[in-house]
Structure 1
């Protein structure tokens, strides 16, 4: 019979993920977001103009509608900028870190031994700016568990190769 011990761990001695310098998303990702939001704003503006032209009951409220619409556009762009600035990532010897969030900051630390599959995606706007998105699938997940957008395509391909190499070493 072996003696069972269950010693307390001094958590102050554990490595701190907060001390790891994170890499921000590529500056072109902000441009990609602006183009995508610009297309949404264009479609919404056309819809608002059509409503204001064809719904005569709103003629007295048109400046209120235009002002409210303008406020929503500014708010959307401000939130988009904050989302862009809050996302960052890092790859370490044994795991990867991804930080995101506006009100609450979420930090995911995924050990490489949990990674099952890696995918690289380029949307048409991202491709125009030379960017790609890495999707990381872990054990037990149906969809990707982590998406890191806004990475230069060449770097994204290198990251995919790194992660695929880590997966192969596990097999």
Structure 2
């Protein structure tokens, strides 16, 4: 019978994922985000216009609502820009890392041996800019899955092939 050992690891000497050089999303993905937000806010503005048209309330209420709407647009764009700047990904020998977040930074590290499925998606606007999104599905369920948007389509296809190759090696 083998002797069981369970030695303590020196956590100060473990590799740090924070030192990894993350790849930023494609700059044109910011345009895709802006176009998507513009579509949503345009629909909301049209709806707000019809509400204002039907309501015979005081002008002051309409002005206040209009300024709140403009402030929400500004805040949404600002937070989206900060979020865009903080997103990044990295592929290492044994795992994939994805970082995102505005106030709190979320970092997901997925070992390749946990990857079960990989999907590549192109939205209508993303396709126009030559971008795609990689979705990596794991055995851990949706909380451990990641979506990496804003990748050049040819690079996304290469990443998908890399991940599929890693999955095939484990079978």
TM range (shorter): over 0.9
Aligned partner of 1:141 in structure 2 is 141
**TM-score when normalising by structure 1:** 0.95
Aligned partner of 2:73 in structure 1 is 73
**TM-score when normalising by structure 2:** 0.95
Pairing 1:50-65 to 2, within 5 Å after superposition: 50-65=50-65
Runs of 4+ in 1 over 3 A off after TM superposition: none
CA distance in 2, matches of 1:117, 1:75: 36
2:38 counterpart SS class: helix
Tell me by how many angstroms 1:53 deviates: 1.5
Which deviates more, 123-132 or 142-151? 142-151
Aligned partner of 1:49 in structure 2 is 49
Tell me by how many angstroms 1:20 deviates: 0.6
Any gaps of 5 or more consecutive residues in structure 2? none
1:51 counterpart SS class: helix
Distance change >3 Å, CA 142–CA 96, structure 1 → 2: closer
Tell me by how many angstroms 1:60 deviates: 3.3
Instruction: String of CA shifts for 1:117-152, please: whole Å, max 9, x gaps.
Output: 100000101101110000001114269811000000
Taking only aligned residues, the RMSD between alpha carbons, in angstroms, comes to: 1.4
Tell whether the 8 Å contact from 2:135 to 2:146 is kept in structure 1 after alignment.
yes
Matched, 1:98 2:98: yes
Pairing 1:1-171 to 2, within 5 Å after superposition: 1-141=1-141, 145-171=145-171
CA distance in 1, matches of 2:127, 2:169: 31
Any gaps of 5 or more consecutive residues in structure 1? none
CA distance in 2, matches of 1:164, 1:118: 7
CA distance in 2, matches of 1:52, 1:148: 40
